[in-house]
Each structure stands twice: as C-alpha cells, then as structure tokens.
Amino acid sequence: MKKAGRRVRIEVDSDIGELKAVILHRPGPEIENMTPENAERALYSDILNLAVAQKEYEQLEAVVQACAETLHVRVLLEDILRMPGLKEKLVVRVCEQEKALDLREALSDMPPAELAGRLIEGVVLVRDNLTRYLSKERFALQPLHNFFYTRDAAVAMYDEVLISSMAKAVRRREALIMESIFDYHPLFRAKTINPGGQVFFDPAATIEGGDVIVVRSDILLMGYSSRTSSQGIDFIIERLKRKVRGKSHLLVQELPSRPESFIHIDMVFTLLDKDCCLVYAPLIVKPNKYRTIHITLEGGRVAGISEEENLLRALDGLGMELTPVYCGGRGDTWVQEREQWHSGANFLALAPGRVVGYGRNVYTIEELDRHGFEIVTAQQAARDMENLPRKCAITLEGSELPRGGGGARCMTMPVRRAAVDWP
C-alpha cells in the first residue's frame, strides 16, 4: 500500500478523472462464510472459491496501486476502533441496528483488530440457551459477504461523501462502517451526507453507490433501480437544490428489476473517455419501456423535468457526444446478455481512456479493440503503468469474482480524482 498523506481530500468531479485515491476491501473469510442455502439472502446467485477470488482481486489491487493511493477498509476500521470512546459507540450502533444487543459486552471487550474482523467476518452463534440451540443460523452477527464491492456503501460526489441507504438489511452494516470511517478517521477531511440521518427520513428512500455516476461537474447520472428508489433520488434532488450554484442536470435511467444483473446503473453504462462510453445496448440504445428522465436544477429549484429518448441523446443534448462501445459486441443479443450478466459493462476508469474490466468478456474486449483501445493484461499494466498508451483496456482474470455480481467499478470507491480537461 502506498503511504497515505496527512489528509485525503474528497474530490470527484467526474467518473473518468485520473484516479488519485481509492478505498478497497480485499475479500476474506466472510466470502467463505456462505452456503448454497444462505447465498440468496447474501445476494449471491452462487458461492465463491475464496482462494481463486483473492488471486483475481490481487490483479485489480496491483493495477490500482500502480497509479493511485490505496486505502483498505479493514485498516481504516481498525484505526478508528483505537480511538477513545468510538469503539463503544460503533458497537452500540451495530448491535442496535441488527437487534443483537446481547453481543454488546463481548464485542466491546475485543481489541480493535479482533473487533474489526468480527464486524466484517461475522460472529458465530454460541448455542448456550434453547432458542440459540434450536436456531438454524450459524452466525449471531452475519458476515458482510458483499463488502469488497466498496462502491455501494458510500460514494464520493464532488466534495462530499454520500452514505448509502442500503436497500437490503444484510448490507446496512457496510454503510454504518463507512460512515464511521469518513466521520472519524483523521485521514479524511470529509463531509458526509446520510439520508438515514435526516429528521424526517423516509424509510422508502434507498440509494446505493453503484447507481451514482458523476459524469461532469454539472451532470449527475443515477439509476432508478431495485436498490435506488424514487424517494432516494428525491433526496439527492433536494441536496442538489441547496448546494449547486448555476444550472445543473440530473439524469435518471430506469432499470429492470429482473434479472439481478441490472442491480445498478453501472452494470449497463460506464464512462470510458471524454467521448466514449460502454453500454448494454438493449437498454441504453435500443427502444424499450425503461424511461430516461432529465431533471434540470437552477436557482435552488427544479427548473424542468422531462423524458428523453434515451441516455445517449440526453447526454448529447448537454454537450457530451459519446460514442457507444457495446457490451458483448454488436452481433448476437444472446452474447450481449451473457456478457452483461458477468459485468461486461462495468469498467473502472483509471484516467480518461485508460480502463479496467474482466477479460472473460471476450466480445466486449474485441469491441473495445475495434474502438482503438489497446488491450493489455493486468500483469503488464501493474509492471509498467507509466508507459501504457493513453487509450487502453486493462484486462483482469475473472472466473470467481464475477459470480459475486460486480466488476472493477463495483470493487473500488474513488475518493479523489483529478479534474478533467473537457473540450
């Protein structure tokens, strides 16, 4: 890990700005604490081989470390648990949220490193009374199977961090941990926004980080999905009304609720360069029933709200003419569906034109090649990042990680990016 500076400033004005600092979480024993019986509750459609998943994740980690400051959730969590009074505060919040107050004393007595492990990997149920003996649960505190998708629980928007209001109870501890890190760790000079912390919080207001894409300083894109509700988007509208000066635009793309591969907007659309994006064409380009809504904000109010033909047309109207690269290629729609299922549209931009995704999606990679992206492996990129061409697609091996339902963008939470020099 590169040594962190004294402070990490929150600064993300575009999803393609050169990556400067990012938060990661290596998948660990929490991944193995899953069985076919509880995989669906854990939001998985399959169980992962941890040893293989870790080797694949190490490729992503090496690539990111070669170009940016990397911070790890578990290290940050251990740090704040050493702070006087904070350990007890966080334990109480976790136990109250998950109705596990009987664990409070045992967790509070743990040293910081052990407690950080338990908060992520789970606490095994002690069968010391009849109710616990009869329980079919293995854990008194469930493992955080999905935490290596650090994008979801919190997202940097401009100079603030939005703490996600997670749609599924099994993931809400992730957001609580991320909020505590940004609120208390001395590395960050961060202002956090938490929908759940509002006086008049609407329980229907859910937002997850994978549904938030900062396109440009004046354009925010959000997915209206099974994980991000209209009420959650309304919370962002109210926030933008109070914060933004001048005119800004919120584009909302409606997503299908099934299959689960459409969980977030970044599973069907990601930015690759100033003039290029990766799309799942059946939803983003071709006619369909899923709406694209354009909300204009100006002077502290909603100045207009209307429906657009599609997302690319909406962006074009705002001065962003983007060439679409098709996930799965331009041929067979079955191939497009297969590659979208394995996160073929979910790429992370390290800088404008320099992107990372799964090499297993061969038709997507071929399409990137046809659009002028030089194809390089993760090993090559990690060894010689400085000499890579400006426009390249870095390929990760991915046999296990895609089974979790996310790609390189999902597994990274950028907290600082350089400004983009737009044409």
**For the chain, what are the domain ranges?**
8-87+143-417
Q: How does DSSP classify residue 125?
A: P
pLDDT the model gives residue 1: 38
Which amino acid belongs to residue 248? S
The upper half-sphere exposure of residue 92, i.e. CA atoms within 13 Å in the direction of its Cβ, equals 5
Give the pLDDT band (50/70/90) at residue 245: confident
Indicate whether 84 pLDDT > 90: no
Indicate whether 202 pLDDT > 90: no
Indicate whether 292 pLDDT > 60: yes
pLDDT the model gives residue 40: 52
Q: Over pLDDT 90: what percentage of the chain?
A: 82
Average pLDDT of span 6-25: 95
Indicate whether 243 pLDDT > 90: no
| Degrees, nearest 5: CA angle 213-116-70 | 45
Question: What pLDDT, in 10s, does the model give residues 386-413?
Answer: 999 999 999 999 888 888 889 999 999 9
Q: Over pLDDT 70: what percentage of the chain?
A: 95
What are the beta bridge partners of residue 292?
Answer: 253, 308
pLDDT the model gives residue 18: 98
CATH topology of domain 8-87+143-417: L-arginine/glycine Amidinotransferase; Chain A (3.75.10)
pLDDT the model gives residue 44: 56
pLDDT the model gives residue 199: 64
pLDDT the model gives residue 74: 97
pLDDT the model gives residue 96: 95
Q: Are 36 and 403 in contact (CB under 8 A)?
A: no
Three-state secondary structure of 330-395:
CCCHHHHHHHHHCCCCCCEEEECCEEEEECCCHHHHHHHHHCCCEEEEHHHHHHCHHHCCCCEEEE
pLDDT the model gives residue 45: 58
Range list of β-strands (E), 94-246: 123-124, 139-141, 154-157, 160-163, 188-189, 191-193, 212-216, 219-224
Question: What pLDDT, in 10s, does the model give residues 341-374?
Answer: 999 999 999 999 999 999 999 999 999 999 999 9
pLDDT the model gives residue 48: 83
pLDDT the model gives residue 3: 43
Question: What pLDDT, in 10s, does the model give residues 101-157?
Answer: 999 999 999 999 999 999 999 999 999 999 999 998 889 999 999 999 999 999 999
Question: What pLDDT, in 10s, does the model give residues 163-183?
Answer: 999 999 889 999 999 999 999
Indicate whether 4 pLDDT > 50: no
- DSSP string computed for 51-103: HHHHHHHHHHHHHHHTTSEEEEHHHHHHHHHTSTTHHHHHHHHHHHHTT-GGG
Give the pLDDT band (50/70/90) at residue 66: very high
pTM for this entry: 0.93
Question: How distant, in Å, are the alpha carbons of 146, 217, 309, 353 from that of 272?
Answer: 25, 16, 22, 6
pLDDT the model gives residue 35: 65
Count, residues in the chain: 423
